[in-house]
Amino acid sequence: MPPRISINNKPDLDSPEHIAMFVEAFYACLLRDERLAPIFTEVAGIDIVEHFPRIQAYWEKLLLGENNYQRHTMNIHRQLDAKQRLSDSDFDQWLGYFIQSADSGFAGPKTERAKRIATTIAENMRRALSVSS
């Protein structure tokens, strides 16, 4: 099935290409944030170029049913939290950038689903890590 374009000419997150575009836009926001950028680049020590395909595969799994992502995200975030405590505001900011990136460049059922999933992920991480304000 070909990727869908919404009535407002924004693509949906319904193809690997669109998900890749979203991941790049989302991380561009995250990496400009004075609080979140160091969590990714310094604390987690993420090589962004190496990280993009992993995150893209993660969202392809969640939105398209692909099975290229096999890592356990909660364990990864537990290790990160052990290095630097994550706060409610960190998750709020992450989710805000996610929704902003989705809304600014994409529209459609998969985009709406991605925003719902991201909200659930943020809440689950918050609870699992027992973050503080």
Question: How many Å from the N-terminal Cα to the C-terminal Cα in the chain?
Answer: 44
CA–CA gap between residue 35 and residue 51 (Å, rounded): 19
Superfamily (CATH H level) for 16-129: Globins (1.10.490.10)
- Pick the closest to residue 13 from 97, 104, 112, 119 (CA basis): 112
Q: Model pTM?
A: 0.84
pLDDT of residue 133: 46
**Whole-number Cα distances in Å, 30 to 35, 38, 61, 80, 99:** 9, 10, 22, 16, 12
Residues in the chain: 133
Q: List pLDDT tens digits, range 91-125.
A: 999 999 999 999 999 999 999 999 999 999 999 88
Can you give the residue ranges of every domain in the chain?
Answer: 16-129
3-state DSSP helix/strand/coil % of the chain, to nearest 5: 70, 5, 30
What number is the average pLDDT over the span 12-26?
Answer: 97
Q: List pLDDT tens digits, range 26-60.
A: 999 999 999 999 998 888 888 888 888 989 999 99
